[in-house]
């Protein structure tokens, strides 16, 4: 297990160097940026602790990709797999846990520790040997396959919504809605085979618009029930709820465009840093989305004409 983490550390450093950055400098910038943006976030909004938890879970969720987990199981076995996954999740959550401890939000610390351990230990896919029904058509494969791998997170979000209503906690309801959007973001984390893009036989602009419209449609169908329930019990906050809904759309569009701006390669470190900045300061999306759209058009032009 020690060798595995040493290898991961070398691979991360190599990615930084390939992107033209010195690893030590990147770690320093990320640390200072994380602390500074965290302080700014908590000084600007009462929803900070929920956005903070959502950011941590989004980062940790990237480590739970099914193919990656299955590969680790083949290499290390089931017992070692659980140790690796728990260690990975805890390492990624350390900055968030440290800042929550600094803010003396001990309940949120406990919640984050519980969720990180839960996501590392539970393998939902291997307990089923039948095809899970999805409310989506086969054409947008991202939502069909993504929903089957993460359906339990949608149920968790709906359960949190019920709890939010029962304890009259609007913030928790917003967190539940954002959890749905964060889950759908993961559906676009990996690039598909070039053949599946080529088969669309449309221009890049039309292809991107179709992807965005489909993503907005299906993500809304999952998040809208939560928004309706919360707005029924907190009608005075409909404006704030609508704003968070739009922000969810913005992040979804940003991830789709980030994916195709690097296509057929995977998203790189620079795009990950830009996405992290958007989490802490969403208005950046207004500038970033048009830029990524144009870049995506250029990347797809060789496949779609």
CB 150 within 8 A of CB 186: yes
Each residue of 212-249: pLDDT tens digit? 998 898 899 899 999 999 999 998 989 999 999 998 89
Task: Kindly list the distances between the CA atom of residue 188 and the CA atoms of 144, 146, 215, 256, in Å, as whole numbers in the listed order.
Answer: 12, 9, 10, 6
Quote the pLDDT of residue 135.
Answer: 60
Quote the pLDDT of residue 136.
Answer: 63
Task: Kindly list the distances between the CA atom of residue 26 and the CA atoms of 20, 30, 41, 302, in Å, as whole numbers in the listed order.
Answer: 10, 6, 21, 33
Calculate mean pLDDT across residues 18-45: 81
CA 108, distance to chain mean position in Å, is: 19
Quote the pLDDT of residue 73.
Answer: 83
Give start and end residues of each alpha helix (H) in 103-125. Answer: 106-121
pLDDT confidence band for 129 (50 / 70 / 90):
very low
- Cα–Cα distance, 158 to 222 (Å, whole number): 10
Calculate mean pLDDT across residues 142-167: 82
CB 144 within 8 A of CB 218: no
Cα radius of gyration rounded to whole Å, the chain: 19
Say yes or no to pLDDT of 17 above 90.
Answer: no
Model pTM? 0.64
Kindly state the tokens that stand for 250.
Answer: 């913005």
């Amino acid at each position: 297990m020690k060798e595995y983490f040493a290898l991961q550390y070398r691979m991360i450093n190599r990615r930084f160097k390939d992107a033209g950055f010195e690893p030590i400098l990147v770690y320093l910038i990320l640390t200072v940026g994380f602390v500074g943006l965290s302080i700014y976030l908590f000084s600007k909004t009462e929803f900070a602790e929920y956005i903070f938890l959502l950011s941590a879970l989004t980062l940790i969720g990237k480590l739970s990709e099914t193919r990656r987990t299955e590969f680790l199981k083949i290499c290390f076995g089931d017992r070692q797999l659980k140790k690796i996954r728990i260690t990975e999740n805890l390492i990624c959550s350390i900055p968030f846990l440290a800042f929550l401890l600094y803010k003396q939000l001990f309940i949120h610390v406990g919640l984050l520790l519980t969720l990180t351990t839960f996501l590392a230990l539970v393998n939902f896919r291997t307990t089923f040997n039948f095809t899970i029904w999805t409310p989506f058509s086969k054409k947008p494969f991202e939502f069909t396959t993504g929903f089957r791998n993460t359906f339990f997170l949608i149920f968790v979000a709906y359960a949190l919504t019920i709890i939010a209503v029962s304890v009259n906690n609007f913030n928790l309801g917003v967190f539940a809605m954002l959890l749905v959007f964060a889950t759908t973001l993961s559906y676009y984390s990996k690039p598909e085979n070039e053949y599946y893009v080529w088969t669309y036989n449309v221009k890049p602009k039309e292809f991107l618009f179709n992807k965005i419209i489909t993503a907005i449609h299906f993500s809304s169908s999952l998040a809208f029930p939560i928004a309706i329930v919360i707005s029924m019990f907190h009608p005075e906050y409909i404006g704030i709820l609508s704003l968070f809904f739009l922000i969810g759309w913005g992040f979804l569009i940003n991830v789709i465009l980030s994916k195709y701006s690097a296509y057929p390669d995977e998203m790189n470190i620079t795009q990950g840093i830009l996405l992290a900045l958007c989490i802490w300061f969403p208005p950046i999306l207004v500038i970033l989305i048009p830029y990524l759209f144009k870049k995506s058009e250029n990347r797809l032009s060789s496949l779609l004409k």
